[in-house]
Amino acid sequence: MTSLHEPSVVRLHAVCKSFAGRAVVDHLSFAVRRGEVFALLGPNGAGKTTTVRMLVGIIRPDEGRLEATLDGSDTSVPPPHSTGYLPEDRGLYREIPVLRTLVYFGMLRGLERREAKKRAHEWLERMSLLDRKDERLDALSKGNQQRVQLIAAVIHRPTLAILDEPFSGLDPLSQEFFLDLVRELKEAGTTILLSAHQMDLVERAADRVLLMNRGREILSGSVGELHARLDDRPRLRLMMETGSDPGILRTDPDVEELAVSGDEVGITLRAGVAVRPFLARAVAVASIRGVATEAPRLHEVFVRAVREDDARAEGRVA
Amino acid sequence: MSHTRQALVVAGWEFRRYFRWKDQLMGLGLFLLIGFVWVGAAMVAGARGKVITVALDGVELTAPPEGRIRFVPAPADAAERAEALRQGDVRGILTRRPDGTFDLLVEKDPRYRAELVALLGESVRRERLAATGMTAEGLEQILSPAPLEVRFTNPATGRRGTPEKIAAGVFIGILLLAVFTSMAYLMTGITGEKQLRVTESVVSAISPQAWIDGKVFGITGFALASVGGSIVGGLLVALGARIATGFTLPAAAVRPGVVLALSVFTVLGLLLWNSFFAAVASTMDDPNTSSRSSLLMLPALPVVMSLAVLRDPDSLVSRILALCPLTSAPALPMRLVLSDPGLPEIGASVALLLGAIWLMRRMAGRIFEVGMLLYGKEPTLREIGRWAADRLPSTPR
C-alpha cells in the first residue's frame, strides 16, 4: 500500500471533454500518487477511455487542466519516455516478427536499438516467448499476442504505466498472469493507472479506485473505504442440508436480501443489525450445516453506486 | 527524443517493413530477362532471314544484295514449274502479262509480298521514266526538298531530337512508377495500421507529425530503392543493347548535371505527393470501399499535364509548368533534357517546390493527426479542409 503522503505524478483539474455536443468527461478531477495502482472504474460509456486518452495526450481536453510530474519534469501530459500505454483499442503489426516489433516500440519510446533488443529478450524470456521471437505476431495465440502488447507498452521501464482495460479478452489464467505482472510492475516502483470493469481483479490489484459514471466521479478512495462508505450491511452464506427450504428465512425481519443457489443461500442483513441473534433464529427454523461471513464485493458497490447515480440523474431530468 | 530522431526511427521501420533484398533481386532478374529477350528479339528481327527464291518469266528484276529475295529464271514447262513450287525450290513464279500487269503463282501466302511489290514498283518507275526520256537523276533533282543545314551554337547542348524525347519519356515513366509504388504502399500501410488498431500505441509515443514525416521518408526511400533497381536493370539492358546493336543513350540524358537534377526533382516530387497520399490514406477506413481512393490518382494529373513540355519545351506553358510546384517535378527535368532552363529558373523551381513540401507536410500532419484516430465514418472533404487549416498547436510531446 502506498503512503497517503506520496506526491502525485498525474493530476487532473476539472477536465471536460465533449463529442458532438455530448459531455463525455464532465469536470473530472483526481490525482494519482507515486507508486500506487490507481483504478478508473465505470460502466461502458462512463468516460474512462476518453480520460485515459487525454492523459496520454492523444486528445486534448476542452476545459480544465492536466499536470504531470515525472522523472523530475513538470509537463501537461506525461512525457512518452516516462510513460507506458496499453490502449483499449490495441493491435500490433501482424506480419512482422515479434522481436522486431518490440524493438521498434522500444525505440519509439526513446531506447537505443541495442538496449531495446536486450530488454525485449528479457521480457520475452519472462513471458516464456523467447523461442518465438522470430515468428510473425499472427502466428501467436491471442493470449500471447496480448502479452507481446503489454511488453510493447512497458519495455522502456516507464515511471507511469497507463493500462486501459488490460484484462479484457483474456481467459482466467491469462487474467491472473496479467494481475501478477501489474503487481510486479508496482513492486518495481512503477505507478499504474488502469481502467477496467472486472471488479474482482481490480479489487485485488488496486490501492485506490475512482468510480465514474456519465463522465463524472461518483466515488473514490481505497477499496476498503468504498466498502465501508457505501455498504456496511452484514453478509452471510449459509450451507443448507439437502431438502431443506430456506424460504422461511425471508420472513425474518433482519433479512434484506436473500438469494438461493443450490444448497447455498446468500443473505444480506439490514444495516446495523447484529449477526449472532439472526443466526440463532435461523438455526432454530432451518436445517443449516455451515455458515460463512462475506465482505461486500466491489462489484456490488459498483452496481449500487451506478444505479443510485443513474436514478439521481433521471430524477434531475424528470 | 527529438522530432527528427522520432521521424528517423519511423522512416527506418517503414523502409525495412517493405524492403526485401530477395524481392529486389527477383525484380531485377525479371527486368533483365525481359530486357534481354527484347534486345534478342530486336537482333533476330534485324538479321537476314532465310533466302526466298522467286522464278521470273518475262520480267527483268534485280534483287538487292541486302534483301531476302533472289531471282532465278523460271522453268519453261508448266509441269516443271508446278514441281519446282511443290518441292520448294522456288517460292513463287512471277510472270508479266501482255497488258503489263504481273502474275505471281504460289503455293502459300507470300510473306515477302511487300518486298517484292517494292522491287516491282522500282522497276516499273524506271521503265516509265525511260519512256518519258527523263533520267532518274533528273527526277530526283526535281523532287528533292530545299537544302537547309541547321547549325547549333553549342552542338553539345543544342542538338535535341527523338532520342532526347525518349529519354524524357523514360524519366516520366520512372517518376510515375515511383509515385504509384509509394501510393500503393502508403495506402495499404496506413489503412492497415488503422484496421490493426496500431494507431494509439504509436501516437502515445510520438507526435503525429513525426509519424507522418517518418512514413513519408521511409516509403519515399523504399520507392526510390525499388525504382533504383529498375534503373540499374535498364542500364544493364542498355549496356547489352550497346554491345549487341550499337545503341547509345542520348547525350543529354547522361550529363551529370541533368542526372543530378532528375534525382533531386524526383526525390522532392515524391516527398510532396507522398505527404498528400499519407494524409488522404489516413482519412480512409478501407481502401477497397472508400470513395476517396480516386483522390489518390490526382498526382497523375500534373504528370500528364507536363507532357506538354514534350511538344514544345520552351513555350510559356512549359515554363509555367516547370515553376509550379505541383508540376515542376516532372516538367523541369523534361525541360532540362529537351532545352536549357537557366540556373535562376532551376533555383526558383526548387525553392517553390521546397516551400510547397513544407506546406503540404504541415497540412498533411494536421489531417493525419485527426484522421488516424477516426474509425467507422469517413470525414467529409469540408471536415478535412477544416483540419488542414487548423492552427492549433500539436499535442505536446
pLDDT tens figures, A186-232: 998 899 999 987 777 888 888 999 989 889 998 888 877 777 766 66
Selection from B247, B252, B238 nearest residue B340 by Cα: B252
User: Chain A, 36-55: which have a CB under 8 Å from a chain B CB?
Assistant: 53
ipTM of model over 0.85 = no
Q: Strand A8-19 vs strand A22-33: parallel, antiparallel, or unpaired?
A: antiparallel
Most B-contacting residue of A107, A155, A168 (CB-CB within 10 A), to test interface? A107
Contacts A89 to B, Cβ<8 Å? 197, 200, 375
Selection from B379, B9, B59 nearest residue A156 by Cα: B9
Average pLDDT across chain A, whole number: 86
Residue of A nearest to B210 (CA): A108
Phi, psi of A195 (to 5 degrees): -115, 140
Q: What pLDDT digit, counting tens, does each position of B283-332 carry? A: 887 777 777 767 767 777 877 787 777 778 888 888 899 899 888 888 88
In a 3-state reduction of DSSP, which class is residue B96?
Answer: strand
Amino acid identity of residue A172, one-letter, is P
The grid coordinates listed for A281 are 433464529
Most B-contacting residue of A108, A156, A160, A168 (CB-CB within 10 A), to test interface? A108
Report residue A160's pLDDT band, with 50, 70 and 90 as the boundaries.
very high
Average the pLDDT over A91-112 and give the result. 92
Low-confidence ranges of chain B (pLDDT < 50): 392-397
Name the more confident of B323 and A174. B323
State percent of chain A over pLDDT 70: 95
Contacts A152 to B, Cβ<8 Å? 201
The grid coordinates listed for B285 are 477506413
CA distance A200 to A203: 5
Q: Distances in Å between the alpha carbon of B43 and those of B29, B33, B115, B163, B238?
A: 21, 15, 20, 20, 14
Highest-confidence segment of A117-121, A134-138, B176-180: A117-121
Q: Are B194 and B285 in contact (CB under 8 A)?
A: yes
The grid coordinates listed for B176 are 510515375
- Residue B223: per-residue pLDDT: 92
CA distance A236 to A275: 9
Cα dihedral A282, A286, A292, A294 sign: negative
- Residue A318: per-residue pLDDT: 47
Where does chain A show beta strands of DSSP type E? 8-19, 22-33, 37-41, 63-70, 73-75, 83-86, 160-164, 191-196, 208-213, 216-222, 235-240, 255-261, 264-269, 288-294
Q: Does A111 touch chain B (CB under 8 A)?
A: no
Amino acid identity of residue A159, one-letter, is T
For residue A161, pLDDT beyond 90 = yes
Amino acid identity of residue B306, one-letter, is S
Highest-confidence segment of A96-100, A146-150, A171-175, B110-114: A96-100
Q: Does B200 contact A53 at a Cβ distance shorter than 8 Å?
A: yes
Query: Could you tell me where the DSSP H helices lie in B93-161?
Result: 113-132, 136-143, 155-158
Q: Are A94 and A137 in contact (CB under 8 A)?
A: yes
- Residue B229: per-residue pLDDT: 82
The grid coordinates listed for A79 are 512525457
In a 3-state reduction of DSSP, which class is residue B57?
Answer: strand
Radius of gyration of the CA atoms of chain A, in A: 23
Phi, psi of B295 (to 5 degrees): -60, -25
Selection from B240, B222, B224 nearest residue B174 by Cα: B224
Amino acid identity of residue B200, one-letter, is E
Selection from B278, B298, B302, B271 nearest residue B384 by Cα: B278
- Across the interface, which of A76, A85, A92 has its CB nearest the CB of B198? A92
Average the pLDDT over A127-142 and give the result. 89
CA distance B1 to B205: 10
Residue given cell 433464529 in the structure block? A281
Q: Distances in Å between the alpha carbon of B275 and those of A53, A198, B179, B272, B351?
A: 26, 43, 11, 5, 18
Q: How many CB atoms lie within 10 A of CB A236?
A: 20
- Strand-pairing partners, residue A97, are A136
- Residue B36: per-residue pLDDT: 78
Q: Does A91 contact B9 at a Cβ distance shorter than 8 Å?
A: no
> How many A/B residue pairs have CB atoms within 8 Å?
70
- Across the interface, which of A58, A91, A107 has its CB nearest the CB of B197? A91
- Residue B391: per-residue pLDDT: 52
- Across the interface, which of B9, B201, B397 has its CB nearest the CB of A85? B201
CA distance B319 to B313: 8
DSSP B219: H
Q: Does B395 contact A92 at a Cβ distance shorter than 8 Å?
A: no
Element (H, E) at B300: helix B300-305
The grid coordinates listed for B105 are 503463282
CA distance B45 to A130: 61
Name every residue in B having a CB less than 8 A away from some CB of A: 1, 6, 9-10, 13, 16-17, 193, 196-198, 200-206, 373, 375, 392, 395-397
Q: What is the pTM of this model?
A: 0.74
Selection from A11, A291, A310 nearest residue A160 by Cα: A11
Q: Does A77 contact B395 at a Cβ distance shorter than 8 Å?
A: yes
Helix B208-245, helix B3-18: angle, nearest 10: 50
Cβ burial A17-49 (10 Å sphere, 16+ → b, else e): beeeeeebbbebebebbbbbbbbbbbbeebbbb
- Strand-pairing partners, residue A229, are none
